[in-house]
Amino acid sequence: GQQVMQIPQYQHVQEGEDFTTYCNSSTTLSNIQWYKQRPGGHPVFLIQLVKSGEVKKQKRLTFQFGEAKKNSSLHITATQTTDVGTYFCAGRSNTGKLIFGQGTTLQVKP
Amino acid sequence: SAVISQKPSRDICQRGTSLTIQCQVDSQVTMMFWYRQQPGQSLTLIATANQGSEATYESGFVIDKFPISRPNLTFSTLTVSNMSPEDSSIYLCSVDSGGNIQYFGAGTRLSVL
């Protein structure tokens, strides 16, 4: 079946370092979404990318959708302790189903 | 956006019993979703609940184990039936609001002894 693979599973960084998580789909996606789940919390929508090659920024977060619409990345510049959590990508297939990646758990050491 | 109230927030249950989780949305929505998230894992879709029709279950999930009700456009319930320790997980409801964005409830943390 259709899969969305996300790496790395875990990342520990020193505060101030950059962080990137990558998402790859086995098939072309109609769009991709990113969610953040704080420890003990629920997933919260961050952003949606729709167009091939699209890049969007939210303050220190940069989201990118690949040209082939099969991969995506989230890059955080100069991490802060408030960035701690698990980041999930979720790809929407052409059938409309939303498929979540495994998530990347980010730990930030102050 | 949508505000979702989910309850109970957590429960500890004995094996063999059933638990019904409620999900209330502050606006009318066509589709509601039920997910399971095991500790440290991703979200797995259990079923999609549409008002006025039977829920659509994903592979590996069956109605006898996870019956779902959707009596109106703002409310749904998920029952975890005949529970075993393997059902210990976080159960999340979500809705698909405008723009295909999913909003999640706070989740129900279930422990089965």
Q: What is the pLDDT of residues B28-57, one digit of tens each?
A: 998 899 999 998 899 999 999 988 888 999
Mean pLDDT of A46-72: 97
pLDDT score of B39: 85
CA dist B37 and B107 (Å) reads 9
- A44 contacts in B (CB within 8 Å)? 104
In chain A, which residue's Cα lies nearest the Cα of B108? A42
Residue type, B7: K
Contact predicate A76/A18, CB 8 Å: yes
Structure tokens at A16: 């101030």
Nearest CA in chain A to B90: A42
Cβ atoms A88, A35 nearer than 8 A: yes
For chain B, percent of residues with pLDDT exceeding 70: 100
Residue A19: closest CA among A84, A70, A102: A84
Lowest mean pLDDT among A1-5, A17-21, B44-48, B105-109: A1-5
CA nearest B44 in A: which residue? A100
- The answer to whether residue B98 neighbours chain A at the CB level (below 8 Å) is no
Tell me the count of A-B CB pairs closer than 8 A: 40
Q: Helix, strand, coil shares of chain B as percentages rounded to 5?
A: 5, 50, 45
Beta bridge partners of B47: B34, B57
Residue B54 has what pLDDT? 87
Contacts of B101 in chain A (CB under 8 A): 33, 45, 48
Give me the torsion for CA of A57, A77, B101, A64, rounded to 10°: 60
Contact present, B80 and B108 (Cβ < 8 Å): no
Mean pLDDT of B64-80: 95
Q: Which of A1, A42, A48 sits opposite B104 (nearest CB)?
A: A42
